[in-house]
Amino acid sequence: MQRLILGNKNKIALAGGVLIAAAFLNRWTLGSTAIFEWALIVASVLGILPIAIQAYQALRLRLVTIDLLVTIAVLGAFAIRNFEESAVVTFLFLFGAYLEQRTLQKTRSAIKELVEMAPETALKQMEDGEFVEVDVDDVEVGDILLVKTGAKLPVDGTVVSGEGSVNEASITGESLPVAKEQGSTVYAGTILDNGTLQIAADRVGEDTTFGKIIELVEEAQDSKSEAERFIDRFARYYTPAVLAMGILVWLFTRDVELAITILVLGCPGALVIGVPVSNVAGIGNGARHGVLFKGSEVMGDFSRVDTMVFDKTGTLTAGSPSVAEKEYYGENIEEALGYLASIERESDHPLAKAVLEEIGEVELLPVENTEVVKGQGVVATVNGRRVAVGNVALMEAEGVRLSDKAQADAARFAEKGNSLVLTSVDGELKILMGVRDQIRPGVQGVLGRLKKLGVKNLIMLSGDNQGTVDAVSRELSLTEAHGNMLPEDKAEYIKSLLDQGRIVAFVGDGVNDSPSLALAQIGIAMGGGTDVAVETSDVVLINSDFNRLPHALGLAKATVRNMKQNILIAVGVVLVLLASVLLSDWMNMSIGMLVHEGSILAVILNGMRLLRFRLRT
């Protein structure tokens, strides 16, 4: 029966609210005293059941909680036929618990999502040389595996033959596929975009990089599950004190009504509702402004953040490469752009799409005698002209002279973290393009506002090369920037910051970010990122709107301030009421009830101010 009642607490709260509303509606319309009282009596009885059960269970563990004080106060109010108070107090208490439950619960489906992303089978080379599909658990270190286009790599390993382009976003978070050849290292859970590879298994099962991601998420989430509520800590002292006061008053005065009055007025109704209403108002404001907070604990930790760590790709940058800069040389540029588009249309190189998007609609011509120069680019014949598209090394191999201006432009582009795409026609340089994953619009302004809000350290971690990372860091004036980092490296770095006593928030969007998101005091995910990142995080920027981050931090600080104000109002009013009951003649039940209900209204109105919160720019 206890389990049934506790399992339906939310339904009981709803029923109580409906009965209270019906009671007052009756009073204002029909005016029937019987209906009014019986509706409140039923609401009180229903409401006190789960609260009394929780108080009883706590007493069995030798804990005196607010549940016990609320139970005694409600019974006392019921005994002196103050059914309004008993019904309202139980409803507020249960409704506050409901709000806490809704806002504080953390999903643990991220682990399931990660496991589902891991490959289940592999093509293993048998003794006769044939490749047979086997369960991934049957793969051992040293086995030779075949991976075809579009397949997930089942283990961490080394390429023994073949070439291909691998999408490593699930591990490094980087959007650009990485070329793999003999001797290259590959990771489980990454995807072979094109080509065919044979790999030797180096790490299998839980020892793979992907397996470590799952393990790190589990450990980090467990490490955050021991947080205590302020109200629970406060109740350890407050509840026994009020209870003892009521008993002492009864012992010394033998005035039962006075003792019950003290318990009723001492009932922390405003305290019970004050903290949840602040948090829920703050969470509601965030939702309307594109920020999802996953609970009241998040507000407290987030408000104290002094170090913010960012993933690069998809967070500070857009997550897809595009042409950032370009220079043209000589004449007939439109013709050269047509040649370039004709060649790139037939290429599966990751930069080709960015180049084609930049060129737009042009006349495409037949491409002949295509020659792929490994690690340099492509040479082909278009409209009878010899066209070379690639890097500086290809231009040198083709005997293309780069003017002083072209060399300076190339150096400038490279310094900013661009991948260079040069195009020559019949040995003459025509086009230079710099392709990179560009910084999100407004990021610099966002970082400046974060500093004004008290974030002292702005740090970037990325799986990209250090040169590209340094270029982004210089442009954004970051405190630190570290490249070539795998998920475990990022998580280890977060641990080192925590060991230094910093309050750390991590902002990311990929599966590879999930360990760091879970490990940091506050994990902030871009809403357009992977489900795992979103579910592992504490704060989600809906629609990946990075510009909402300062609002989120400012709102967290405002919510914590508001919560403290409500606690001060609630406790202050209770103390004044208790002192007035004991030390004055003018305080009675009616006046006390009026002030008591007024304090509840005050904390609700104070909390609702957060619904209008906007960060001052």
- CA 128, 134, 137, 143 torsion-angle sign: positive
Gap between the Cα atoms of 451 and 479, Å rounded? 11
195: left (phi over 0), alpha (psi -120 to 50) or beta: left
Q: Which of the residue ranges 157-161, 184-188, 509-513 would you say has the lowest mean pLDDT?
A: 509-513
Gap between the Cα atoms of 366 and 104, Å rounded? 61
Of residues 174 and 372, more confidence is placed in 372
Q: Nearest to residue 216, comparing CAs of 484, 486, 488?
A: 488
Gap between the Cα atoms of 82 and 101, Å rounded? 29
| Confidence band, pLDDT 50/70/90 cuts, at residue 389 | very high
- pLDDT at residue 172 tops 70: no
- pLDDT at residue 234 tops 90: no
* pLDDT, average across residues 289-313: 83
pLDDT for the residue numbered 329: 94
Gap between the Cα atoms of 50 and 13, Å rounded? 10
Gap between the Cα atoms of 112 and 535, Å rounded? 11
Provide Rg for the chain, Cα atoms. Answer: 33
Gap between the Cα atoms of 359 and 343, Å rounded? 12
Catalytic residue among 301, 311, 513, 538: 311
For residue 89, give every residue at least 6 positions away whose Cβ sits within 8 Å of its Cβ, in sequence order, or none.
Answer: 47, 70, 73, 74, 77, 267, 269
Q: Nearest to residue 93, comparing CAs of 2, 12, 3?
A: 12
Gap between the Cα atoms of 314 and 170, Å rounded? 13
For residue 418, give every residue at least 6 positions away whose Cβ sits within 8 Å of its Cβ, in sequence order, or none.
Answer: 324, 325, 434, 435, 436
pLDDT for the residue numbered 104: 41
Buried b (16+ CB within 10 A) or exposed e, 170-209: bbbbbbbbbebeeebebbbbbbbeebebbbbbbbbeeebb
Active site residue 311: yes
- pLDDT one-digit tens code per residue, 25-40: 888 888 888 888 899 8
Gap between the Cα atoms of 429 and 278, Å rounded? 64
pLDDT for the residue numbered 320: 75
Domains 117-219 and 319-439 share a fold: no
Q: pTM for this structure?
A: 0.62
> Going by DSSP bridges, is the β-strand pair 522-526/539-541 parallel, antiparallel, or unpaired?
parallel
pLDDT for the residue numbered 450: 94
Gap between the Cα atoms of 317 and 340, Å rounded? 27
Gap between the Cα atoms of 329 and 303, Å rounded? 53
Gap between the Cα atoms of 274 and 600, Å rounded? 7
Of residues 308 and 471, more confidence is placed in 308
DSSP letter string, 4-40: HHHHTHHHHHHHHHHHHHHHHHHHHTT--HHHHHHHH
Greatest CA separation for the chain: 111
What is the three-class DSSP state of 483? coil
Domain boundaries, the chain: 1-105+227-267, 117-219, 319-439
Gap between the Cα atoms of 452 and 317, Å rounded? 22
Q: Contact 281/301 with Cβ under 8 angstroms?
A: no
- pLDDT at residue 326 tops 90: yes
| Confidence band, pLDDT 50/70/90 cuts, at residue 335 | very high
| Confidence band, pLDDT 50/70/90 cuts, at residue 532 | low
DSSP letter string, 556-603: HHHHHHHHHHHHHHHHHHHHHHHHHHHH-SS--HHHHHHHHHHHHHHH
- The label of the residue with tokens 């043209």 reads 328
| Confidence band, pLDDT 50/70/90 cuts, at residue 268 | low
Based on the number of CB atoms within 10 Å of its own CB, is 130 exposed (0-12), middle (13-18) or buried (19 or more)? exposed
pLDDT for the residue numbered 528: 56
Q: Contact 273/603 with Cβ under 8 angstroms?
A: yes
Based on the number of CB atoms within 10 Å of its own CB, is 227 exposed (0-12), middle (13-18) or buried (19 or more)? exposed
Determine the CATH number of domain 319-439: 3.40.1110.10
Residues linked to residue 156 through DSSP beta bridges, in sequence order: 203
What is the three-class DSSP state of 200? strand
User: Could you give the percent of the chain with pLDDT greater than 90?
Assistant: 26
Question: Tokens at residue 84, please?
Answer: 């309004």
What is the three-class DSSP state of 223? helix
- pLDDT one-digit tens code per residue, 100-120: 555 444 334 444 555 666 678
For residue 402, give every residue at least 6 positions away whose Cβ sits within 8 Å of its Cβ, in sequence order, or none.
Answer: 392, 395, 410, 429
* pLDDT, average across residues 192-209: 86
What is the three-class DSSP state of 530? coil
Residues linked to residue 201 through DSSP beta bridges, in sequence order: 157
CA angle 402, 405, 410 (to 5 degrees): 70
| Confidence band, pLDDT 50/70/90 cuts, at residue 171 | low
3-state SS string for 395-410: HHHCCCCCCHHHHHHH
117-219, what's its fold?
A: 2.70.150
* pLDDT, average across residues 3-8: 82
- pLDDT one-digit tens code per residue, 433-446: 998 888 888 899 99
> Which whole-number Å values give the CA distances from 217 to 100, 113, 466, 490, in the listed order?
24, 11, 26, 12
- pLDDT at residue 555 tops 90: yes
Q: Contact 371/378 with Cβ under 8 angstroms?
A: yes
Give me the amino acid identity at 213: I
Q: Other CB atoms closer than 10 Å to residue 277's CB: what's the count?
A: 26
